[in-house]
């Protein structure tokens, strides 16, 4: 075989190893990230208008709260123990919250279809068959706590704990966020009552929505930490360009 052909094959193999994320994965990742930030900021503004949580289908200032956040409200009618109220930003924040939510749903749906059709979930996120037992998962968590990068597959930075965490977010947390968000709407309650009843009521959906948000915020911080430990510039660059640097390109 000619030397030029060997060199071309070697270069192609290295380029294949350097490829990391497809264009659709990168676009949906950043759209989801920006939409989540918008949802987080606007959700906080909405929350400030009534920082009390209930369980069931009804809840108001005259109803005993399941729990309350120790923060002042933006409405004088909501008793929080403070002698002042914050500026009311409920109007614009609700509108932007709904818009950002639909952007996230669209991006998530595209990513889900892509992951199922191309086998992305099975190939890159599903733990290997021998890693799916409870004992192996517990052992992987212990190993992960000692060395966050341990247990990754060859040419892959995702270890068992990371893959399971991403699957948890994609398959459970984000769908539950969408479900609980929709269940707070009176229109959804009228059109699809079981969607609200199964959650325990509209106020229960709001409480679950808040708790799921806290879980996703913890995931976001953990995700950024893992990226930093694996090489922040390299991993973020890969999510922008779609490829990891080859050994020759690394500093």
What are the residue ranges spanned by the domains of the chain? 132-243
Beta-sheet pairing, 67-68 with 52-53: antiparallel
The pLDDT profile of the chain, 251 residues, written as one tens digit per residue, is: 455 554 444 444 444 445 667 889 899 999 999 999 999 999 999 999 999 999 999 888 889 999 999 999 998 888 888 888 888 888 899 999 999 999 999 999 999 999 889 888 877 777 666 555 555 555 555 555 455 554 444 445 566 777 788 888 998 999 999 999 999 998 998 899 999 999 999 999 999 999 999 999 999 998 888 888 777 888 888 888 887 765 445 55
Task: Classify residue 2 by burial, with Cβ atoms within 10 Å: 0-12, 13-18, 19+.
Answer: exposed
Burial 67-76 (b: 16+ CB within 10 A, else e): ebeeebbbbe
Reading phi first (left if > 0) and then psi (alpha if -120 to 50, else beta), residue 84 is in: beta
């Amino acid at each position: 075989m000619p030397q030029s052909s060997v060199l071309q094959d070697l270069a192609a193999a290295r380029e294949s190893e350097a490829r990391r994320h497809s264009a659709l994965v990168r676009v949906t990742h950043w759209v989801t990230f920006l939409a989540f930030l918008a949802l987080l900021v606007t959700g906080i503004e909405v929350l400030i208008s009534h920082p009390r949580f209930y369980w069931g289908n009804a809840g108001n200032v005259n109803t005993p709260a399941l729990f309350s956040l120790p923060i002042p409200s933006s409405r004088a009618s909501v008793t929080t123990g403070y002698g002042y109220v914050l500026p009311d930003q409920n109007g614009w924040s609700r509108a932007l919250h709904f818009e950002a939510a639909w952007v996230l749903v669209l991006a998530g749906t595209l990513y889900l279809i892509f992951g199922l059709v191309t086998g992305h979930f099975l190939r890159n996120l599903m733990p290997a068959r021998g890693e799916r037992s409870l004992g192996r998962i517990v052992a992987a968590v212990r190993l992960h706590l000692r060395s966050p990068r341990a247990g990754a597959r060859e040419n892959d930075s995702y270890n068992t704990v990371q893959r399971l965490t991403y699957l948890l977010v994609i398959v459970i947390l984000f769908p539950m966020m969408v479900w609980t968000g929709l269940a707070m709407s009176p229109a959804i309650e009228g059109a699809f009552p079981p969607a609200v009843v199964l959650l325990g009521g509209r106020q229960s959906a709001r409480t679950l929505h808040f708790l799921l948000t806290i879980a996703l915020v913890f995931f976001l911080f953990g995700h950024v930490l893992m990226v930093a430990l694996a090489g922040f510039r390299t991993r973020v660059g890969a999510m922008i360009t779609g490829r990891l640097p080859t050994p020759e390109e690394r500093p």
